[in-house]
Structure 1
Amino acid sequence: MADYHDDLRLAHVLADHADSVTLDRFKALDLAIDTKPDLTPVSDADRAVEDLLRGDLRRARPRDAVMGEEYGSSGGQGPRRWVIDPIDGTKNYIRGVPVWATLIALMELGPGGEQPVVGMVSAPALGRRWWAAKGSGAFTGRSLTRAGRMKVSDVARIEDASFAYSSLTGWEERDRLEAFLDLSRSCWRTRAYGDFWPYMMVAEGSVDLCAEPELSIWDMAATCVIVEEAGGRFTGLDGVPGVRSGNAAASNGLLHGELLQRLG
């Protein structure tokens, strides 16, 4: 089995660099905000973080390709590609809500196609960080040496499950709102935590299932490997494993079949 320890150490360094920029610009009075062609907001902090991490990767991993939310794909044609979401939760970030994170993943080409093998989620305003490497488990803590291992819950009935999501509008726009509401009514508890956080809660065992109807690779690559290494399942709503379906369903594994049946 491949050893990704050095890549995980690098992901921590990248996250440290990202945190220094995002925290410095969080709630800054002169934060510059633009609207992208897809009508979503982007701040100067989003662009500054991606620029910084691309520079770090050019020096540390010059043969690896890089894909980022703000500047697309660049770099080598080899089997490895770093995927960056400089600020997942930009709308929260620009409004002063502390639920946002930098997502960093390493994807590697294998027999089954390109799959995430390292994931890092750093949410400095929450004082939280989560990470995983393929075959090595999932962890949360302050650093590689100050961390606790994560494990998904053992809740086996939808009626006992906590279900997390981002918003209702995406489900409504895709004519899936009734199925979503039906699932919500069946669950013990529902909360719209949003963005990266529900997936980390699934990995920690504090939430049992979550789903989103539309996502990009940079939204999912880091969270996918963390959920899987914590013992959970991460697929598209179509049940296809990985991050290629354009949407996501994550669970503790025990509830995954019913989650897909109700929403897929």
Structure 2
Amino acid sequence: MTDAEQIIATAHRLADAARRETLGLFRSPSLRPDNKSLQGFDPVTEADRASERAMRALLDELRPEDAILGEEYGPKSGSSGLTWVLDPIDGTRAFMSGAPSWGVLIALCDDSGPRYGIIDQPYIGERFEGGFGRARMVGPRGETALGVRKGVALAQATLMSTYPEVGSPEEREAFGRVAKEVRLTRYGLDCYAYALLAAGQIDLVIEAGLQPYDVCAPIAVIEAAGGIVTDWQGGPAHQGGRILAAATPELHAEALQFLRS
């Protein structure tokens, strides 16, 4: 196999392993979330930990020269110049509530950012991938090519974000300026919102306070589908922070104007 083919095959094996670990504990009465935060509530469960451990074990076997950055177990150095960025459960609050919108995020990055990514939705059986010439979703209805929705102006757009609060009061105000301009705003789907943008179902995702493991896989999938993802200044977004994902450059420019105002 070429290196790209090996990376893709490895990523799917990681996603399969994470599915097994997470589905085994989803909606389990024995699940007891812990709080990682000294202030507020930042939940983690044994499903998060088991999912990441399984993926790391596979990477140690299949790609030992690559670095790893995971949400629960931090960074591991490598020698290849490539880093696997893992979010073992994106949407732990949804997971612990029994909602099916949580997912698993897997990205392969180099110094310039994401090169390939998977957004996997284990419970609903959908897997979105992008990079190395691929942009597709495989789910209960079979395989579908990914492609963003084009020709939608801000006034007709659908906007999504995980939390109505978005971030700081200043960030909330900026988000509100965009939300006032769109046709529809919806909340609460975590990484699935980015997958829906890549699938041409929605047009914008705006969030703040994100980490690299929250965004690297969505960036790869959305860009492969023809979309654009930046920070709120129009710069690279793979380090996290404030995120603006848009279906088209024109829509991105419209939304960015209101975020900056």
Give the TM-score normalised by structure 2.
Answer: 0.92
Query: Which secondary structure does the structure 2 equivalent of 1:214 belong to?
Result: strand
Query: Which secondary structure does the structure 1 equivalent of 2:241 belong to?
Result: coil
Hey, what's the Cα distance between the residues in 1 that align with 2:131 and 2:65?
Answer: 20
Which of 240, 244, 253 is the equivalent residue of 1:249? 244
Which of 105, 115, 119 is the equivalent residue of 1:121? 119
The total of aligned residue pairs comes to: 255
When residues 53 and 30 of structure 1 are mapped into structure 2, their CA distance, relative to the original with a 3 A threshold, is same
Hey, what's the Cα distance between the residues in 2 that align with 1:248 and 1:198?
Answer: 13
- Cα deviations by residue, 1:150-190 (Å, 9 ceiling, x for unpaired): 1101133111111111112234x241323322321211111
User: Quick check: 2:162–2:190 contact (8 Å CA) kept in 1?
Assistant: yes
Q: Partner residue of 2:51?
A: 49
Structure 2 regions of 5+ residues with no counterpart? none
User: Quick check: 1:4–1:133 contact (8 Å CA) kept in 2?
Assistant: no
User: Quick check: 1:88–1:100 contact (8 Å CA) kept in 2?
Assistant: yes
- Aligned-pair identity in percent equals 33
Which of 147, 152, 155 is the equivalent residue of 1:156? 152
Which of 74, 77, 83 is the equivalent residue of 1:75? 77
Per-residue deviation, 1:142: 4.2
- Cα deviations by residue, 1:17-72 (Å, 9 ceiling, x for unpaired): 11011111001111132111364000001001111110000000010011100010
1:34 maps to 2:30: no
User: Quick check: 1:237–1:245 contact (8 Å CA) kept in 2?
Assistant: no
Per-residue deviation, 1:219: 0.2
Per-residue deviation, 1:245: 4.8
Per-residue deviation, 1:141: 0.5
Per-residue deviation, 1:9: 1.5
**RMSD (CA atoms):** 1.7
User: Quick check: 1:4–1:118 contact (8 Å CA) kept in 2?
Assistant: no
One-letter code aligned to 1:139: R
Which of 176, 181, 192 is the equivalent residue of 2:176? 181
When residues 91 and 175 of structure 1 are mapped into structure 2, their CA distance, relative to the original with a 3 A threshold, is same
User: Quick check: 2:48–2:72 contact (8 Å CA) kept in 1?
Assistant: yes
Q: Partner residue of 2:214?
A: 219
Runs of 4+ in 1 over 4 A off after TM superposition: none
Q: Partner residue of 1:258?
A: 254
- Cα deviations by residue, 1:203-249 (Å, 9 ceiling, x for unpaired): 11110111101100000000001000100001111211331251211
Query: Which secondary structure does the structure 2 equivalent of 1:45 belong to?
Result: helix
Structure 1 regions of 5+ residues with no counterpart? none
User: Quick check: 1:236–1:244 contact (8 Å CA) kept in 2?
Assistant: no
Query: Which secondary structure does the structure 1 equivalent of 2:170 belong to?
Result: coil
User: Quick check: 1:33–1:44 contact (8 Å CA) kept in 2?
Assistant: yes
Hey, what's the Cα distance between the residues in 2 that align with 1:216 and 1:252?
Answer: 22
One-letter code aligned to 2:49: R
Per-residue deviation, 1:262: 1.0
Give the TM-score normalised by structure 1.
Answer: 0.91
Which of 143, 147, 155 is the equivalent residue of 2:143? 147
